[in-house]
Amino acid sequence: MKFGIVFEISVPRPFRPGVEKQVVDNCIEQAVLADQLGFDQVWAVEHHFLEEISHCSAPEMLLSAIAMRTEQIRLGFGIAVCVPQFSHPARIAERAAMLDVLSGGRAEIGTGRSATWTELGGFAADPDETKKTWDEYVRAIPRMWTQPTYSHQGRSFSMPERAIVPKPLQDPHPPLWVAVTSPGTEVDAADRGLGCLGLVVGGMKRQEKTIDTYRRRIQLCDPVGSFVNEQVNTVNFMYCHEDPAHAMKRGAQLSDHFNYLAPQQLFVKEIYPTQSYATDGLFSALRQESTSSGDPMRIPDGIAIGDPDRVIRSLKRWEAIGVDRVVFILNSVETIPQAEVLDSLRLFAREVMPAFGHTPAIGSTSAGEVA
Amino acid sequence: MPDFGTLSVAAAEIPVVDRFVTEPVEITDATLLQVVCEIGVAGQLAVLPPALHPTSPPIAIWQLLEVGESPWGAFRLASIRVGARAATKSRSFLVHAFVDNPDAGTALRESWGFPCVDAEVGLRVGHDRIAGWADVGGNSPFDVELEDPAPIASGSVYYAPSMNLAATPLGTRLLQVDPEYLVKSVARGRPQVRHHPGIVDDRLAPTWPISATAATVDITLPTIRFVCDPALPAAQGTETITPAAS
């Protein structure tokens, strides 16, 4: 199992001058440490207009800054929103390729279509169309990367023949993923040979069934890219501390803040009736998953919050049902002091990662400890 | 922490609910026209009580309900709500209500805290458009339309529970009114709202259309199970209504 981190860039009110910079600087520091500790990936989401919960509207720029300061960690650009009013597909292909070049071939691209009216309405996008435009985009982008020139006459976009440059450094191109939050999207992922990103819906039993469906379907896929990216990547919270009570307290702060802020947005499903949006998307799914009952200390099984032993047990459950990667939300509106976030990462690397076959990396002791 | 509303509830004229309703009321085959639009950010907090968070972006919901049979006879109810969150729960705050049947108005006011004003309320269902309006003494606070209705799946429409401000035996409270809806059929179309300032709050003027639906529904007007102190965040100020308190 591989581990990573994911940034929403949630910013606490009041929005004083400099507060966004402080949060971004903290994210970069976390990513640099994660790289040193042997974490495999860092993802940055694309969200727009989501005050407090996510000020991450230009993820590839954040990832470029991280790329310049790191050596090994892979850089997940996404979810890149595949809706014309947000970005032309050529712009997604260009930005992803530049990130790949800058990082020496470490880019991965997540695709999706947004679930909030806050975002879709802000760009005057049609919620009925987003599944169709996503489909057109994921078939176009790999060709833009691999063909010398590209032209298209389509439903959501058309363009005359052009050279879309730069080309990615990775040969043939970066791995492609899709956000899977609505039931059935795992089939879309499998049929197109895409990685399954962000599966958090419905608890372990449901997950197991979803992953099984994905694994079976992808054997028969017609890949949109030049290769099949058969991987399952989930999103989780993480706070790890030797003292179980402190870990639970801090971890609950993290998940509670995230879960309180996320539903303040306006979801498509609430106000625009359409079969295209049967669920509220990732925020809602993660919220349900992390607030379900079942743990005497309030944190449900499967959430990577606790002392190292508990975190290992939680992650072993995901591993057992076929999850390849887990990416962690480390903070929300800076509710956990940065020093504690960094210590949590170090402890995770030192005590948890070896249980999954990783060798402890240099730097996995906290600043005050003797290595 | 998200923003909270800033409405001064002490200054508001509100319905009096002497006892919390203990029996639900079932209404069948009603027609419910709902239009949702964004409203301006600047005034949204002043429209909501401090218990509630605004949605992002702020929205208002215009509803026209036509009921053929009820314990109070046939009636039409026009209302305007503002989208909100009670802590993390999806809610709407009822700002205005107009009803064309005084008996129904009294029942809705005294049992569920609808701030009903007597009015003429109209609903016209056509194949090209569905239109609704209210008229108070020759002045229309608003009229709404759904243009080009097209059937959609009945499970896809959502009605946010309403928070209605009232004077209750527990003090001034927001009553959680969360009817059950059995949607038998629903059509969606282009929304249009004409807001006429003066009778209704000018801050509810629509700024961007979102959706319009017209449905045939069975509605169960509920018992009151939860109330909330409007001056406290909903996470702190929500109380459960037990039969003894009713």
The tokens describing B178, both together, are 């969360």
Nearest to B157 among A13, A49, A273 (CB): A273
Structure tokens at A108: 């991965």
Which residues from B are below 8 Å from A258, CB to CB?
none
Give residue B11's pLDDT band: very low, low, confident or very high (50, 70, 90).
Answer: low
Select the residue from B53, B59, B211, B213 to test the A interface by mutation, using most A Cβ atoms within 10 A.
B211
Q: Which of A117, A121, A274 sits opposite B156 (nearest CB)?
A: A274
Give me the DSSP letters along A222-261: --SSSS----EEEEEEEEE-SSHHHHHHHHHHHHHHHHHH
User: In angstroms, what separates the C-alpha of A263 from chain B's closest C-alpha?
Assistant: 6
Query: Which of A122, A264, A273 lies nearest to residue B55, judging by beta carbons?
Result: A264
Which B-chain residues 91-150 have CB contacts (< 8 A) with chain A?
none
B154 touches chain A (CB under 8 A): no
pLDDT at position A199 is 59
**Per-residue model confidence (pLDDT) at position A290:** 53
CA distance A216 to A187: 10
Q: What angle (nearest 5°) sits at the alpha carbon of residue B216, between those of residues B211 and B220?
A: 105
**In this prediction, does ipTM exceed 0.90?**
yes
Q: Tell whether B208 lies on the interface with A, counting CB pairs under 8 A.
A: yes
Interaxial angle between packed helices A19-37 and A338-347, expressed in degrees from 0 to 180 and rounded to the nearest 10: 10
Write out chain B residues lying below 8 Å of A55, CB-based.
none
Query: Looking at the predicted structure, is the pLDDT value of residue B170 above 80?
Result: yes
Token pair in block for residue A200: 């958090």
Are B231 and B49 within 8 A, CB to CB? yes
Domain boundaries, given as residue ranges, for chain B: 9-245
* Sign of CA pseudo-dihedral B218, B224, B225, B231: positive
Q: Identify the residue among A182, A268, A270, A284 best suited for mutation to test binding to B, counting B beta carbons within 10 A and taking the highest.
A: A270
Phi-psi region of B223 (alpha: psi -120 to 50; beta: other; left: phi over 0): beta
Interchain contact B185–A (C-beta under 8 A):
no
Q: Specify the pLDDT at position B199.
A: 85
Query: Which residues of chain A are within 8 Å of residue B91 when distances are taken between CB atoms?
Result: none
Measured between beta carbons, which residues in chain B are less than 8 angstroms from residue A266?
A: 55-57, 59, 83
**Dihedral sign (CA B195, B197, B199, B203):** positive
Distance from CA of A243 to the nearest CA of B (A): 28
Compare CB distances from A273 to B83, B85, B152 and report the shortest one's residue: B152
Within 11-30 of B, beta carbons closer than 8 Å to A belong to none
Q: What is the mean pLDDT of chain B?
A: 95
Q: How far does B63 lie from chain A, in Å, by closest CA?
A: 13
Distance from the Cα of A144 to chain B's closest Cα (Å) equals: 34
Interface test with B, best of A271, A277, A334 (most B CBs within 10 A): A271
Q: Which residues of B touch A121 (CB under 8 A)?
A: 38, 57, 208, 210
pLDDT at residue B155 above 50?
Answer: yes
Give the position of tokens 């949630």. A10
CA-wise closest residue to A266 among B154, B157, B59: B59
Is the pLDDT at B244 greater than 70? The verdict is no
- B102 to chain A, closest Cα gap in Å: 31
Contact A66, A5 (CB under 8 A): no
Beta-carbon pairs below 8 A across chains A and B = 70
Domain B9-245 falls under CATH 2.60.40.650: no
A265 contacts in chain B (CB < 8 Å): 55-56
Report CA dihedral (A125, A127, A133, A135) to the nearest 10 degrees: 150
Q: What pLDDT score does B42 carry?
A: 82
> Which residue of chain A is at minimal alpha-carbon distance from B84?
A264
Indicate yes or no: CB of A264 within 8 angstroms of CB of B56.
Answer: yes
- Tell me which chain B residue has its CA closest to the CA of residue A50: B56
Please indicate whether, in this complex, the C-beta atoms of B57 and A260 are within 8 angstroms of each other.
no
In angstroms, what is the C-alpha Rg of chain B?
17
Q: Do B160 and A275 touch (CB under 8 A)?
A: no
A265–B1 CB contact, under 8 Å: no
**Residue of chain B whose Cα is closest to the Cα of A127:** B210
Closest-CA distance, A119 to chain B, in angstroms, reads 9
User: Does B90 have pLDDT greater than 70?
Assistant: yes
- In 3D space, the residue among B127, B106, B121, B131 whose CA is nearest the CA of residue B33 turns out to be B131
* In chain A, where the domains are located: 2-356
Contact: B59, A266; criterion CB under 8 Å = yes
Q: Which amino acid is at A54?
A: S
Which residues on chain B are in Cβ contact (under 8 Å) with A278?
Answer: 156
CA distance B87 to chain A (A): 7
Q: Which residues of A touch B83 (CB under 8 A)?
A: 266, 271
- Report CB contact under 8 Å: B2, A274: no
E-strand spans in A148-211? 150-153, 158-162, 176-179, 195-197
Tens of pLDDT along chain A (371 residues) come to 999 999 999 999 999 999 999 999 999 999 999 999 999 999 999 999 999 999 999 999 999 999 999 999 999 999 999 999 999 999 999 999 999 999 999 999 999 999 999 999 999 999 999 999 999 999 999 999 999 999 999 999 999 999 999 999 999 999 999 999 888 899 999 999 999 997 564 577 788 888 999 999 999 999 999 999 999 999 999 999 999 999 999 999 999 999 899 899 999 999 999 988 876 555 555 555 555 444 446 788 889 999 999 999 999 999 999 999 999 999 999 999 999 999 999 999 999 999 999 887 766 765 545 43
Cis amide leading into A79 (omega within 30) = yes
CATH level 3 topology of A2-356? TIM Barrel (3.20.20)
Residue B183, token pair as written in the block: 């949607």
B208–A121: do the CB atoms touch at under 8 Å?
yes
Amino acid identity, position A173 = H
